[in-house]
Amino acid sequence: METLIGLLVAAPLLGAGVLLTGGRRFDRTGHLLGTLFALLSFVFGMVLFVNMLGKNADDRALHSHLFTWVPVEGFQAQVGFQLDQLSMTFVLLITGVGTLIHIYSIGYMEHDERRRRFFGYLNLFLAAMLLLVLADNYLLLYAGWEGVGLASYLLIGFWQHKPSAATAAKKAFLVNRVGDMGLSIGIMLMFTTFGSFAFSNVLPRAAQAAGTQHATITGIGFMLLLAACGKSAQVPLQSWLGDAMEGPTPVSALIHAATMVTAGVYLIVRSGAIFNAAPDAQTAVVTVGAVTLLFGAIVGCAKDDIKKALAGSTMSQIGYMIMAAGLGPIGYVFAIMHLVTHGFFKAGLFLGAGSVMHGMNDEVDMRRYGGLRKFMPITFVTFGLGYLAIIGFPGLSGFFSKDKIIEAAYAKGGTEGWILGSAALLGAAITAFYMTRVMLMTFFGEKRWVPDAEGHEPHPHESPKSMTVPMIILAFGSVFAGGLFSINSSFVKWLEPVTGHSEGNSPVSTGTVTAATMVCLVIGVGIAWLMYGRRSVPAVAPRGSLVTRAARRDLLQDDFNHVVLVRGGEHLTRSLVYLDHSLVDGVVNGSAASVGGLSGRLRRLQNGYVRSYAVSMLGGTAVVVAATLLMRAV
Amino acid sequence: MNPANYLYLAALLFTIGAAGVLIRRNAIVVFMCVELMLNACNLAFVTFSRLHGNLDGQVIAFFTMVVAAAEVVVGLAIIVSIYRTRHSASVDDANLMKL
Amino acid sequence: MTGSMSLAAAAYQTSTGEAVQFWVLGTVAVIGALGTVLMKKSVHSALSLAGTMIVLAVFYLAQGAYFLGVVQIVVYTGAIMMLFLFVVMLVGITAADSLKETLKGQRWMAALCGLGFGILLIAGIANASLHSFAGTGQANAADGGNVQGLAHLVFTKYVWAFEITGALLITAAIGAMVLTHRERTEERLTQREQAEARVREGKQVTPLPAPGTYARHNAVDVPALLPDGSISELSVSSTLRERGQIRDVSRDAMRRLAELDQRSDEWLERAPEQPELEHDGERAPASAEEGAK
């Protein structure tokens, strides 16, 4: 069984290697090969899952040590895998949703010349993400972490002939670097504090050392949070996610549902012991989560680009997860549960959006859609189910997972709990609003189609089977996953041995929370219907209020970055250059000049006349004789 | 008379030789002054030999003579070859080793 | 044996004789040394140095170092000083012999350093308490004589140094040969080639004119006169020309001589040999005019 864990990672890695180095001979079969390797990985995952189910709850973790990476005295970097319930959940999500996206991409990328390369990158993405979640130490996790960053860079910039795509890829990579820096510093801190990278070593000792090394552990917690912010697009490192929509739609689905953005949540849940020992870091985590969930939701409300609206939604939903993860043992399980259900419905939504774009000549502006439900029935139904799931319609996946998070936020207790719970509730209302808006603008109302730049009239049509089948499967997931997880609290029991769980002491009863959520849901949907359902949608966006305009510009995040970081950086650089020129160069040149001047004077001693050298020698000898005599006299 | 007077004489001769090296420009005379300095040293060695009552000082003086002979041979050869190329025996004319 | 014993005994106690000898010969040595430094001509310097060395040889003998005393005379005064004179001859007298100082401040610095060094040395010797001394008599007697004693030391205790000096001497000899040896890199020119080269250069094809004019001025330092009365530079040695040792017999000088002759003739009341002088005076301009035509 342990060998299978290695194969789990090796299969997509092999696929990436074959597809990326194999050259043109795989052009015809590359997409099938890539899908096959992803599917193979999923099958391995399923086998391991079934095997794991057959064991006792406390005895389910598998360990597989491959080799020692850096065998240096005092610095032992191991390559080993650890497959416990948490990793298993991620493996199934990554390989399952990943495989579906592979299948979808066969149809979506059919006309792209570089499809083989695309599938190679997808496989690389899967392999890196699997490495990340299967690593049994932080160093190997970091390798996977960087691999994910690389693969996302390659995929976001896949259409590199578009300058916007190239820029977006660069932006994503650079913003991620900031987070990666946090992770690497965190790992270094861990090593200096605990002398090891292994989860099995670091985490228990972090729990023990809570009292004695509080500051260090809090520092590690903040660094890990910074890393999570980068990968999971949380405030303040969220700016890359919207631009990442420049990539092909399956990439967006993959990044938002199964890989990449979930890595931050994984990191925080996996490092739960560290955060439990550092309450300040936990507070920071919940703050980041709460701010991001509102931030993303507001951005999602104002976007007319369907993919960017969904991107705002992702930011918001990941904010929920991060907030839940920051709540400690009462929230870990629900963070992961929401992550899985979100994986289903967000993948479904993105694939649906891709399907719509596929039928509409790659148009992304929702103001140019309208009334598509009759032309794309399957897309409409699957997208609609995803929509119901994400707004938390009773009985569907999102209902179970999001409610639990809101409940857990209240269970945090005190003023903090009230603020977090209310923020989450408000987020739920806004979610209902913007998702209803997307739904209404896309599938309802009158047609607002316009010919594209080359004058082709759009002929909306249903997508091919290879695209609709994954959407249908994901729709099933969106509908049933949450309920399945909640029957008999099965998901809580499943994850509890790894993450720990506590019920918390909620000041509000479950029924009240559910009722409040329902009210928020109805209000959100109602307002959206009033604004976009009853009235016709103008083809050109109205100017809108100050908030709307700010939200259209991603709540000025890029402007903020530009003013503070870019301008500030430029000024800093300029002043440093000035310092360098005046002070550093001044000292260097000044010392050089003084040495040169002194040498110029001393050079005159070196006049080439042997006799003056002889005078110096005799003078020196006289001094030595004098010194000798003096020493003897003393 | 105290034999230390020989040492004073040696010191005097040595100093005169050194001054000659510094003052004279003719390479041959400079060489002679060096020889004078060596001889002054030899006188000192012989006097030391007498003061200590053993012959080691004389052996050293003997070796000094041998080395001086070798030195003179090579030194004069150098002077001759310099004179051939530069038509000058002045030590001041050989002043290319400078900046 | 007995002679050496008596001399060794004298070395214990500096006798009055030795003291007198020291003060007399020491003065000579210092004068010789000063002469070496201050004499303008290097030959004189070499001779002064030889004198000092001989005095030193006597001092060696007086202090019981018989072997060294002899070697000093034979090797130093005999061989090395002769080598010096040989090189002085080879190099010749040059402008370097001038005692005029050309380096700025050199003489002052030399005087300062020399004085300081000398005073320090003498102070150092005076500082050492040298009131009793062993003398070489015992040491010389131990092996049956000074030479035997030295040989004993040189071939036992200092044998390694001795061998090294042998190597040094060989190296020095070879070094001197290498330094003074000049490799001939091209074929020596034949007489014919030399003649052809001279014609090609067009400098002076004919033999150089012989020096001297008239029967009374046929010495090598008198340049020949050309038909116009000017002198021919080529007829005298370049060495003499550079030294300015040419006796000028150009026309003005000739005229002055003629006037002197005339005055002496008048004083002696002799009839002047007028036609002969005029003949000489008029012929030269005529030939110059001919040359101009």
Q: Which of A108-117, A290-299, A617-626, C93-102 has the least mean pLDDT?
A: C93-102
- Who has greater pLDDT, C82 or C249? C82
Mean pLDDT of chain C: 79
The answer for residues whose C-beta is within 8 angstroms of residue A194's C-beta and 6 or more apart is: A201, A202, A205, A206, A209
From residue A283, alpha-carbon distances to A183, A323, A505, C53 in Å are 19, 9, 18, 101
Residue B65 pLDDT: 92
Q: Do A611 and C103 touch (CB under 8 A)?
A: yes
User: What interhelical angle do B27-52 and C42-62 show, nearest 10?
Assistant: 10
What is the tens place of the pLDDT at every residue in C4-16? Answer: 444 444 444 577 8
For chain A, the first-to-last Cα distance in angstroms comes to 87
Asked if residue B95 belongs to a domain, the reply is no
pLDDT of A558 over the 80 cut: no
Contact flag B92-C103 (C-beta cutoff 8 Å): yes
Residue at B43: amino acid letter: L
pLDDT reported for residue A609: 85
Tell me which of C265 and A39 has the higher pLDDT: A39
pLDDT in tens, A187-221: 999 998 888 888 888 888 888 887 788 888 999 99
> Are residues B19 and C88, on separate chains, in Cβ contact within 8 Å?
no
CB–CB contact B21 A611 (8 Å) = yes
Distance from CA of A588 to the nearest CA of B (A): 25
Cβ distance A611 to B91 less than 8 Å, yes or no, reads yes
Closest CA to A102 of A45, A42, A21: A42
The pLDDT of residue C25: 94
Residues of B with CB under 8 A from a CB of A: 18, 21-23, 25, 91-92, 94-99
pLDDT band at residue C3 using 50, 70 and 90 as cut-offs: very low
| Residues B16, C153: C-beta atoms closer than 8 Å | no
Instruction: Collapse the DSSP code of A360 into the 3-class scheme (helix H, G, I; strand E, B; otherwise coil) and give the result.
Output: coil
In this structure, is residue B93 part of a structural domain?
no
The domain tally of chain B equals 1
The pLDDT of residue A77 is above 80: yes
Indicate the residue type of C111. Answer: A
- Determine the Cα–Cα distance for residues A227 and A234; give it in Å rounded to an integer: 10
CB B45 within 8 A of CB B61: yes
Contact A609 C103 (CB under 8 A): yes
Flag whether B99 is in a domain.
no
Top pLDDT among C93 and A249 is at A249
Rounded to the nearest angstrom, the minimum Cα separation between A615 and chain C is 6
pLDDT tens-digit series, residues A596-612: 999 888 887 778 888 88
Q: Which residue has the tokens 């997208």?
A: A383
The letter for the amino acid at B5 is: N
User: Span A278-291, mean pLDDT?
Assistant: 91
pLDDT of residue A546: 76
Beta carbons of C4 and C141 less than 8 angstroms apart: yes
Q: Could B91 and A607 be called an inter-chain contact, meaning their C-beta atoms sit closer than 8 Å?
A: no
- pLDDT number for residue C287: 42
Task: Give contacts of B 25-54 with C, CB under 8 A.
Answer: 25-29, 31-33, 35-36, 39, 42-43, 46-47, 49-54
| Chain B residues in contact with C180 (beta carbon < 8 A) | 77, 80-81
Comparing alpha-carbon positions, the chain B residue that sits nearest to C142 is B54
| Chain B touched by C72 (CB under 8 Å) | yes
Q: Is the pTM of this model over 0.90?
A: no
Position B19, amino acid = A
Q: Could you report the per-residue pLDDT of B24-82, keeping only the tens digit for each? A: 888 899 999 999 999 999 999 999 998 888 899 999 999 999 999 999 999 999 888 88
Does C94 sit within 8 Å of B26, measured CB to CB? Answer: yes
- Establish if B96 belongs to a structural domain: no
Check pLDDT > 70 for residue C278.
no
Q: Sign of the C-alpha dihedral, residues A243, A248, A253, A258?
A: negative
* Closest CA of chain B from C203, distance in Å: 25
To the nearest whole Å, the CA of B58 is away from the closest chain A CA by 24
Q: Does B86 touch chain C (CB under 8 A)?
A: no
Phi-psi region of C213 (alpha: psi -120 to 50; beta: other; left: phi over 0): beta
> Are C117 and A618 inside 8 Å of each other by CB?
yes
Strands A75-83 and A62-72: antiparallel
**Residue A465 half-sphere exposure toward CB, CA atoms < 13 A:** 0
Domain interval for residue B51 = 3-88
> Any CB–CB contact under 8 A between C172 and chain B?
yes
Q: Are A622 and C124 a contacting pair at CB < 8 A? A: no
CATH of the domain at B19: 1.10.287.3510
What's the pLDDT at A38?
92
Segment A93-112, tens digit of pLDDT = 999 999 999 998 988 888 88
Whether pLDDT at A41 is above 70:
yes
Give the closest-approach CA distance of A614 to chain B in angstroms. 7
pLDDT band at A124 (very low <50, low <70, confident <90, very high): very high
Q: What is the pLDDT of residue A150?
A: 93
Peptide bond between residue A236 and the one before it cis (omega within 30 degrees of 0) = yes
Instruction: Find out whether A85 and A52 touch, Cβ atoms under 8 Å.
Output: yes
Give the model's pLDDT for residue A256.
Answer: 84
pLDDT value of residue C282:
43
- pLDDT surpassing 80 at residue C259: yes
- DSSP code per residue over A155-212: HHTSSTTSHHHHHHHHHHHHHHHHHHHHHHHHHHHHHHHHS--BHHHHHHHHHHTTTT
A447 versus A125: the higher-pLDDT residue is A125
Which of A55-69, A124-138, C98-112 is the most confident on average?
A124-138
Residue in C90, C98, C162 closest to B80 by CB: C90
* pLDDT value, residue C253: 66
**Residues A608, B21: C-beta atoms closer than 8 Å:** no
Q: How far C175 CA sits from the closest chain B CA (Å)?
A: 6
- Is any Cβ of chain B less than 8 angstroms from the Cβ of C18? yes
Give the model's pLDDT for residue A64.
85
A410, A506 Cβ separation under 8 angstroms: yes
> With contacts defined as CB-CB under 8 Å, which chain B residues touch C139?
49, 53-55
Residues of chain B contacting A611 with CB distance shorter than 8 Å = 21-23, 25, 91-92
State the Cα–Cα distance between residues A610 and B27, nearest whole angstrom.
11
Say if residue C254 is exposed, middle or buried (CB neighbours under 10 Å; 0-12, 13-18, 19+): buried
Q: For B98, which of A607, A615, A618 is closest by C-beta distance? A: A607
- The H-or-E segment that residue C50 falls in is helix C42-62
Confidence of residue A169 (pLDDT cuts 50, 70, 90): very high
Instruction: Please judge whether A615 and C120 are an interchain contact, meaning their C-beta atoms are less than 8 angstroms apart.
Output: no
B-chain CB neighbours of C99 within 8 Å are 23-24
Report the DSSP beta bridge partners of residue A79. Answer: A67
Asked whether residue B98 is assigned to any structural domain, the reply reads no
Nearest to B35 among C80, C99, C125 (CB): C80
Q: What is the largest CA-CA distance in chain A?
A: 117
Predicted pLDDT of residue C288: 42
SS (H, E, C) A438-473: HHHHHHCCCCCCCCCCCCCCCCCCCCCHHHHHHHHH
Q: What is the mean pLDDT of residues A323-336?
A: 90
